[in-house]
Chain A
Amino acid sequence: MTTDPTAQTIVGATAGPPDHDPAGDDAGASIWRVAARRLRRNPGAIIGAVIVLVFLAVALLAPVLAQYDPQALPGRTEIRPTFIPGPSDAYPLGLDRYGGDLLSKLIWGARASLLIGVLSTLLGLAGGALLGLLAGAFGGWVDTVTMRLVDLMLSVPSLLLAVSIAAVIGQSPNAVVIAIGVVQVPIFARLLRGSMLAQRDQDYVLAATSLGLSRRTVVMSHIVPNSVGPVIVQATLMLATAVIEAAALSFLGLGGGSPITAEWGRMLTAAQNELEVAPRLALWPGACIAITALGFTLFGEALREALDPKTRKR
């Protein structure tokens, strides 16, 4: 099968978005065009996209936007055991317990939290897509073994699984990325497999097979491009979960680093003891996590609706 020259080119093509499919799959392209048009008309999608873009911009431009370095403690001398200075001209959102500038730390925190969220989702997507593809393309015992493994992973609630994985790897941001990524693998695997199975019995697949195309070509250039929709939707929604779970793991201390680390979950841990003195130290990072998650969720839900043929006529 690997000697088939067409199969080689088509395998490469699947790396790009399906609407650029060189196989000329018009139906596939129009789904995405229609979806884009429907997204533009959906206020939820626009709000979600704006939130996500703002936070992405903040994360990317953190070195420019933040007045201080993430580890800097410019107001160290102004901190008293019972008093933490609030907003002032020098520190727009006030200081934290250690004398760090809250605004600067929130900005750097956006970079840390989004990076963890995006990397872990990419990891989960890659692992899940690989397993799902194996199961969906080969069926038989490959499918059975893969899906039993997936069931096993899903038999433990995801946050607990992530906690135990991160605990074993050791307390560091990398551990958090790996833990949250691994936890997502079974979800993506099951989704892609289910989606591929639904396509397998479609007439166009029968047509492609009867034209004598190899199984690899049928799977890679026909079944897969038509199965990725739900996976992309899930990935968008997963970004919200990943940001929240990353914060949860950091909150439990699995993200490592010192208490002054500029990461939203970690900042919440530090704020825990200051609730009576300076509640804003908890409010700001918490609100950042919630708003980022809201952005991804709104956009993901809108994307799901836009790609769903059942709601297409509305």
Chain B
Amino acid sequence: MAGSALRRLMAEYKQLTLNPPEGIIAGPINEENFFEWEALITGPEGTCFEGGVFPAKLIFPPDYPLSPPKMQFTCEMFHPNIYADGRVCISILHAPGDDPMGYESSAERWSPVQSVEKILLSVVSMLAEPNDESGANVDAAKMWRENREEFNRIAERIVRRTLGIPT
């Protein structure tokens, strides 16, 4: 039922506008289609992604909140839990049924009490602490484990790109 999904998205948008979490902005790209949002996420302080502002797209299913939205970064990203095309792989975005990696307990998966705000906050903490067990980007996971310095340099470069500062 698109009607109830629409009302819920409206409520979430309102809440995110009135009480925005620090460094996070999210809202529909175009109000003609309330099921496609853009979110800006500020890289958490004290991490290699500090200072960057990362844009991402959120696509909601018509039966939201029964099914989770899909999230994809629209800027270049290099992170163990983000696929090369920007899709985010965290357990909160996985429906209880599907389990691509096969080891998540259902407790941390999607449920209708989750919200856009909770998703974005989980993504921020994912940026700070990658889970190198789920290999969405195997290269990044390996570099994160074995060559942290290089990983930090790449992250730094991405941060500058998102701010429009030449590297």
Q: Do these two chains interact?
A: no
Instruction: Point out residues on A near B: beta carbons under 8 Å.
Output: none
Interface residues, chain B, with chain A CB atoms under 8 Å away: none
